[in-house]
Structure 1
Amino acid sequence: MMDRLLENDTILKIISLIVALFLWFQVTSTNAQVVADRPIGPVPLEYTPPTKSNLTVMSMNPNTVTVQIKGPVQSINQVNPHAIAAFVDMQGLTHSGTYTLPVRVSVPTGTSFVNVVPNKVTVVVDEMGTRHMNINLRPIGSPAPGYELQQLTSNTQTATLSGPTTDLNMVHEVVAEVPVGGRDASFQEQVILLPLNADDRVVQHVQVSPAMISASATIKKRPPEKVVGVVAKLSGHPASGYQITNIRVRPANVTITGSQSAINAVSVVYTIPINVSGDTSSVSAAVPLVFPSGVSGVKQQDVSVTVTITKAG
């Protein structure tokens, strides 16, 4: 009778299915009981901030870790990295400084924690503060040819800086850069305030209030200019038996400005009189220039004069 059953295709198919189901159940049961380890990472580090409100976290190094978990093969293979929490508790910190703190880990149900790499991180905490500084207006570029910047002004004179005290102490000046390049007329413009260090670089983590100010630039056409010689004017005479052998003026030429008609009438400018009465040795002095009415010096307002006096004969 058994032989006749085995010769029946339907019966054979049913027996094959039952055997397959039994084998699958055995394999599944075995895998479910096998325990293995699995490294998961990088897992981003989170932190609980310091309880003290004026402290801020500047950096945490590293900011990710690798977590080793253990559990049944099927369970750990299904674990999503986002299901693992790694964090650092900073609530107990009360002062600024650099700390080494342990990493704490939470793993999903059905798995267990093995270890975390690294198990400690370096944290830098700083105290928040404020500082008040004057605003410096800085022209950027040069006006159009034939024009000059006469004045930069702003109704806002000071700014309030806030941020970590370490960064606040690095701020050398607060600068508002005003673009005047190529301009040929006065203007008013909103400009950003920049907290700069001694190397003229922006200091990070520092907030400036107000962030922008209104700056006014006065630009006018440059008056005519002319280069003329300088003549040293003397008063008196050296002592008897002595004479002037040389007069040297530095610089020998200066640039003057004024109306066109005024500078056209000038060929040289003089110094104030230099008194050499009764002198027996050379005289050196820095002396102012005397400009005619309607004329002024562009840069030079005084010159250096050396009067060489030697014994006669």
Structure 2
Amino acid sequence: MIGKVPPVPVTVIGTADNLAHFVPAALHVTGNFSNVKVGTNRVPIDVQNGDPNVTIVAPSSAMVNVDDLGSSTQTVSIERVNTLPPGFHEQTAATTITPATVRVDGPKSQLSGIQAVVIIDLGGVTAPGSTAPVTVVVWNANKKIVPQMTVTPPQVSVKMVIQADAVTLNKPVGFTLTGQPAAGYRVTNVQIAPLEVQATGLQNTLAGLLLMASDPVDITGAKGDVIRTVTIRPPDGVTVNQKTATVHVFISATPGVSPAPS
């Protein structure tokens, strides 16, 4: 049957006292659908009265529209409402729906153009995301709920991954020296180029990052300047716009100390 069950007008006759105490739930209507066909049908009905203190007058039939029962397999889509809090984004490539399709059963004439949808309120989703069962609703082309549809399964599992937005900040590049120059020599200065690089990552990660680490420079036994190209080593989740830096270690003889022989 298409649409709501049609109302059955009933006249209840009795004394004023009996009518005051009459409960509509005492009436029960049954219909005989054994001979209906697709389209508009006049269906015989029988109104039973459970209250012996009143008399009822009711019609013997009602008009109903009948359709074939149809079935359609639908791919479930997500309808996102509201937005994530500022500073966060959804990794849409990681969003999954399990199962991805559902079966929709209902009046055959209303299956055309339907869509199976889960409604996700992004305003209530926080990082790192969620995996939760969500009820599937059936919409028509105008995004209105189509009544009398049965969805199997009625719920699907929706997994969403939420991340904080990446930011780019300038961070100084650090250096590390290992070993000692030859006896009688000392380090007088160290220069690194570039002094800063652009680091991209989560804001919380970059906030705690004072220096970008680089590979150590070994100056063991050096009697003159050491110049090395070193690799910049950002932490996991951080990228930099330049992969290497040049470290120049200035080494000269210590005043008043005889340098070690060559």
Scaled by the length of structure 2, what TM-score is found? 0.49
- Could you say which structure has the larger radius of gyration? 1
Scaled by the length of structure 1, what TM-score is found? 0.42
Which of 1 and 2 has higher RCO (CA within 8 Å, sep 6+)? Answer: 2
